[in-house]
Structure 1
């Protein structure tokens, strides 16, 4: 099965993959996968060519934008030859029968992961492998194992080590998307090296990790751990404890929460504790740069410790006792309700808003 990509991208366009032909001084032609975002030096391109003796290579680490890309193109060193070479697609289906609650581990080197419940006593994993052609896709390796109710599917691509110890991923236009169907009551560990993760209507322990991609979940019953190196995290209708962090992106979480650890290196953080939430442990909400909004239900008890490096602290329909600090200034400490676990809120640069949540808002159907 195959699909066609449409349109020819602009060389100056940001945030989208491009394929270029690099002409070395020796006259050899190299292919490199350049991602047009966040400017890097021309020397990075030259060094990449020097460390790899291969005729064809794919470099994810070289980044260029606007002026740099235009300058390289104008110099005659780069000739654009195409885009989106991962147009050849094959599907590989794996089926596993389970007797009890499944414990499912999923991993792909590059591609999104979608997880949905169904009413069958088995787990199905569809691997959608994508590449330039049949041989390219055939190099993608799918390793599927089952021990009792534990199911593991790992998808990898071949890689080689170049001069100087660099890992060089040849023909790096491959990806592998995982489409997963499993019983609603399942434990899940899902990891993508570069891709989004989307999960809904699952009850169990969930561990979600992406090297570079968003993470989204809806109607999740159980404790959730989510990490992405670069991307937003949005979790709606969670019933349990949350431990989430992103290196660069916003965080939005909501549900009947027992404990929350939410950290963003650069992005806003919104936590909505719906009626029925009761702290069962300390809460820690931190962003390096961005606003923080926290909604808690009536009767919520905790010991608040809020601080912003540059911004104000605002209370809406919230009563604090044993207050130290001045509301509206940079630091406020006080007791919510009858007190309880620690509620620590921090932002390096942004406002903090604490208000009462009025009603439970469920995630999307």
Structure 2
């Protein structure tokens, strides 16, 4: 939380109606995480890093990148702070600095997205930290990186290609997609009426923890793996176990929103939260 201090001094007290100009913070200690990896065996041993931040109005926010993780946490302010850690690598320091200056973010009223360079480089990484009111609706996209969301109650639409998804204490409708990575979801609150979970991965397991009193219609399937339930009572259960895969349908509690969990290669666990 110490690294948030400069950002908090920058923020105004009132919620903004439009996105504010991006502020660049050179020397932010968030860059320490990536600077430790510079100077290794790879050809591009030099690096440059800076943190850019922007304030958006609350409601619905979209964040997108190409290489880099996305982390979302709730806060008590009425607006949304998006922090982007932009880093670049090069064979010389001058090349790394040039690539950093060339990195662009497109900032709109409700969105911050990385603008891909004409010549992408795996050493060019944009990671995001987002701090938002709990009820904010979020659309999060990255290609190579994990996505972590904690304590949010708005609708979530999250997607990565290579990376895991961790959604903890979430209470809104959830749509989560990854190609290579697992999905770990812990539903917060009680009941979850009107929420629903739509979870899908190609290569990875799915774990879902449900609160007491949760009701849903369950549809789960894996082509290579098993489905387990622990502490969850399923009514009208239908099971189809194959040589390699497993399918399950049933109703938890009074039924209602759909809990859909689909993977091609991996197990599925649906359990009551401890």
TM-score range, shorter chain: 0.5 to 0.7
1:252 equivalent to 2:252? Answer: no
Which gives a bigger RCO, structure 1 or 2 (Cα 8 Å, sep 6+)? Answer: 2
1:145 equivalent to 2:107? Answer: yes
Q: Deviations over 1:132-180 (max 9, x none)?
A: 2244443423234344xx2434343232xxxxxxxxx4xx254233444
- Shift in Å, 1:246: 2.2
- Shift in Å, 1:344: 6.5
Aligned to 2:171: 239
Aligned to 1:25: none
The whole-number CA distance in structure 2 between the counterparts of 1:347 and 1:294 is: 16
| TM-score after normalising by structure 1 | 0.51
Structure 2 unaligned regions, length at least 5 = 1-26
Does the 8 Å contact 2:64/2:141 carry over to 1?
Answer: no
The whole-number CA distance in structure 1 between the counterparts of 2:265 and 2:82 is: 45
The whole-number CA distance in structure 2 between the counterparts of 1:350 and 1:310 is: 14
1:277 to 208, 214, 224: 214
Aligned to 2:63: 106
Matches within 5 A, 1:149-228: 150-159=110-119, 169=120, 172=121, 174-182=123-131, 184-185=132-133, 202-228=134-160
Instruction: Say if 1:217 and 1:290 are closer, same or farther in 2 by CA, change over 3 A.
Output: farther
Q: Secondary structure at the match of 1:240?
A: coil
The whole-number CA distance in structure 2 between the counterparts of 1:248 and 1:122 is: 29
The whole-number CA distance in structure 2 between the counterparts of 1:345 and 1:126 is: 31
Does the 8 Å contact 1:295/1:354 carry over to 2?
Answer: yes
The whole-number CA distance in structure 1 between the counterparts of 2:130 and 2:268 is: 40
| Cα RMSD (Å) | 3.8
Q: Number of residue pairs matched?
A: 232
- Shift in Å, 1:332: 6.7
1:307 to 233, 237, 240: 240
The whole-number CA distance in structure 1 between the counterparts of 2:260 and 2:69 is: 33
Aligned to 2:18: none
Instruction: Say if 1:155 and 1:236 are closer, same or farther in 2 by CA, change over 3 A.
Output: same
Instruction: Say if 1:121 and 1:156 are closer, same or farther in 2 by CA, change over 3 A.
Output: same
- Shift in Å, 1:239: 0.7
Instruction: Say if 1:333 and 1:156 are closer, same or farther in 2 by CA, change over 3 A.
Output: closer
